[in-house]
Structure 1
Amino acid sequence: MNKLLILGTRGVPAQHGGFESFAEKLSLFLVEKGWDVTVYCQEVGWGAVSESVWQGVRRIHIPVRQSGAVGTIVFDWRATCHALSQNGLFLTLGYNTAIFNLLQRLKGQTNIINMDGIEWRRDKWGMLAKSWFWLNERAGCWIGNHLVADHPRIREHLATRVSAEKITMIPYGAENVSDADASLLLPYGIEPGRFSVIIARPEPENSLLEMVRAFSLVRRGHKLVVLGNFRPESNLYHREVLAAASDEVIFPGAIYDAPIVHALRFYSRFYLHGHRVGGTNPSLVEAMGAGCAVIAHDNPFNRWVAGVDAAYFVDEPACAELLESLLTDDAAIARMKAASSARFAERFTWDQVLREYEDMLVAWSDRR
């Protein structure tokens, strides 16, 4: 029986970001295929390491009393140390603590690392954090037996560090949302087709301030729903975004209830995506899976994902111009929605993504 152990996430079932959702999808997919799958799970508090089984997936629970980035580092260290006693093929999601995986390499364990985005380029990090991520990216490239890039540009970037033969490009996947419950929009005072949506962490590199300003420049008879965890009492950027918003912008906070998020995407007029750094962004792929018309920041990452029929802006005035010209253009919106659905079906369904991972993992399991 093939055996896989997954490191680098907070665990399953998914309750946080894209890697957790991917770990859940992959682990359940492989269990159905007869694999023995283990996922390391980060828990809050004190105590000994424990185990449980969830839908056929073995979970190793590691309690950590620290919170935030420090807690994640402690968890990754303890999970890596525990993994040294295990047998099987390893998949590490993210390179943020790749230096720890040196222990596995020295022991002769086979570890495939998903290298995620170019974390050290993100504006939100200070010099110390950027140095840490840069070091670990380099370490991950050397330490990993094989690397996964989720975007062709990430593969090109990694190929400046290691041989291109050491890298497999597999993008992120998403669900195909072909319907949603419109009644879930009622608590937010919005109606199908009468609003657009942004779903992103409120950070400068995600262009929230530029998009909110562009939308709020004039009255539009239209709502903009901005999902995200805003903390204006402690974050200057959050205060700037909130202050720039007109009364047509709605900030409902971070929403993790999948049916509500599906409804917000499915019934939106546009999905606005301002991410400037990264590979295949999960939120963009999920929007395309819901057939959203996409207005995105113009960069090679977004262009490869969303395709030639999305609309792109380079700055705030260009975003405002797109909103002015497209918000009332029903024919253009219909074309953009159809193009998003076609591009999604072409490259980003979970069935495609998970089968590509399975093929890669089988090859490495046989090599072991």
Structure 2
Amino acid sequence: MRRLNVLGIRGIPAMHGGFETFAEKLALHLVGRGWEIVVYCQEDRGGAVGESLWCGVRRVHIPVKGNGALSTVLFDLKCVLHALSRRGVFLTLGYNTAVFNLLQRFAGQTNVINMDGIEWRRDKWGPVAKTWFWLNERAGCWIGNHLVADHPKIKEHLATRVSADKITMIPYGGDEVIEADAGLLSRYDIQANEFSVIIARPEPENSFLEMVRAFSRKRRNHKLVVLGNFTPETNAFHRQVMEAASDEVVFPGAIYEAPVVQALRFHSRFYLHGHRVGGTNPSLVEALGAGCAVIAHDNHFNRWVAGPEAAYFQNEAACAELFDGLLYDLASVERMKSASRARFKERFTWEQVLREYEDLLTRWYPK
């Protein structure tokens, strides 16, 4: 029986983000294919390492007190140390502490590293954090036996560090959504197709301010629902975004109920995606799977994912022009929705993505 050991995430079942969702999908897929799966999980407690079984997946619970950056670094180190005695192939999701994976290389373990996005380019990080991420990106490229890039442009970037033969491009996947409960929208005082939506972390690099200002330039007779954990009392950027919003912008906070998020995507007129840095963004893939008409920041990451039928903006003025021209052009909205579903089925279904991962991990399985 083949064994896969998964490191680099907080654990499964998924409760945190894209990598956790992917790890859950991959683990369950491979268990069904006869693999033994071990996933390392972070627990905010003291005490000893424990193990449990979840849906056929072995979870190794690593105790680390706290939830900050230092706790995450300590958790990753403890995972690598514990994993040194394990056999099989290893999949590390993210390179943020790739220097620790050197221990696995010394131990002769085979480690495939998903290199995620170009983390050190993100505006939110200070000089120390950017330097740490830059160094670990380099380390991951050298230390990993093989690398996964989730976007063609990420592969091109990594190929400036190592040979392109060492890199396989496999994007993120998503579920197709063909129906969603419109009744869930009532709690936000919105109706199906009478709102557009933004779903992202409220950070400057995700174009929140540009999109909210563009929408708020004039009366739209339409709602813009902006999901995210806004803390205007302590975060100047959050305060700036909220002060720029018209009374047609709704801030419901962060929403983690999957059926509600699905309903917000599925019943929106437009899904707005302002990310300027990164590879294949999970939220954008999920928007395609829900058949959303996409308005996105114009960069090579978003263009490859969303395709030529999406609408793109470079700045606030261009975004406002898209609202002016497209908001009530329902024929264009329907054309964009159909194109999103087609693009999703072409490249981003979980069936395709998980099959490609299984093929890659099988190819790199220790002899």
**Does 1:243 pair with 2:243?**
yes
Q: Within 5 Å, which residues of 2 pair with 1:76-87?
A: 76-87=76-87
Cα distance in structure 1, aligned partners of 2:43 and 2:217: 45
Give the structure 1 partner of residue 357 of structure 2: 357
Q: Within 5 Å, which residues of 2 pair with 1:185-196?
A: 185-196=185-196
Q: Within 5 Å, which residues of 2 pair with 1:1-368?
A: 1-365=1-365, 367-368=366-367
Cα distance in structure 1, aligned partners of 2:294 and 2:282: 14
Tell me the alpha carbon deviations over residues 314-341 of structure 1, each in whole angstroms, 9 at most, x when there is no partner: 0000000000100000000000000000
Cα distance in structure 2, aligned partners of 1:53 and 1:9: 17
Q: Which amino acid aligns with 1:328?
A: Y
Cα distance in structure 1, aligned partners of 2:264 and 2:218: 23
Cα distance in structure 1, aligned partners of 2:253 and 2:66: 25
Cα distance in structure 1, aligned partners of 2:202 and 2:324: 24
Cα distance in structure 2, aligned partners of 1:328 and 1:231: 33
Using the TM superposition, give the Cα deviation of residue 232 of structure 1 relative to its aligned residue in structure 2, in angstroms. 1.2
Using the TM superposition, give the Cα deviation of residue 67 of structure 1 relative to its aligned residue in structure 2, in angstroms. 2.1
Using the TM superposition, give the Cα deviation of residue 88 of structure 1 relative to its aligned residue in structure 2, in angstroms. 1.1
Tell me the alpha carbon deviations over residues 122-169 of structure 1, each in whole angstroms, 9 at most, x when there is no partner: 000000000000000000000000000000000000000000000000
Q: What is the DSSP-based 3-state SS (H/G/I as helix, E as strand, rest coil) of the residue aligned with 1:92?
A: strand
Q: Which amino acid aligns with 1:308?
A: P
The normalised TM-score by structure 1 is 0.99
Cα distance in structure 2, aligned partners of 1:66 and 1:350: 33
Cα distance in structure 1, aligned partners of 2:216 and 2:89: 51
Cα distance in structure 2, aligned partners of 1:72 and 1:177: 33
RMSD: 0.6
Q: What is the DSSP-based 3-state SS (H/G/I as helix, E as strand, rest coil) of the residue aligned with 2:224?
A: strand
Which piece of structure 1 moves more, 130-139 or 57-66?
57-66
Cα distance in structure 2, aligned partners of 1:352 and 1:198: 27
Q: Which amino acid aligns with 2:228?
A: G
Q: Aligned residues: percent identity?
A: 72
Cα distance in structure 2, aligned partners of 1:199 and 1:69: 24
Using the TM superposition, give the Cα deviation of residue 66 of structure 1 relative to its aligned residue in structure 2, in angstroms. 2.7
Q: What is the DSSP-based 3-state SS (H/G/I as helix, E as strand, rest coil) of the residue aligned with 1:138?
A: helix
Tell me the alpha carbon deviations over residues 13-70 of structure 1, each in whole angstroms, 9 at most, x when there is no partner: 0001000000000000000000000000001111110000000000000111132111
Q: What is the DSSP-based 3-state SS (H/G/I as helix, E as strand, rest coil) of the residue aligned with 1:58?
A: strand
Structure 2 gaps of 5+ residues are: none
Q: What is the DSSP-based 3-state SS (H/G/I as helix, E as strand, rest coil) of the residue aligned with 2:113?
A: strand
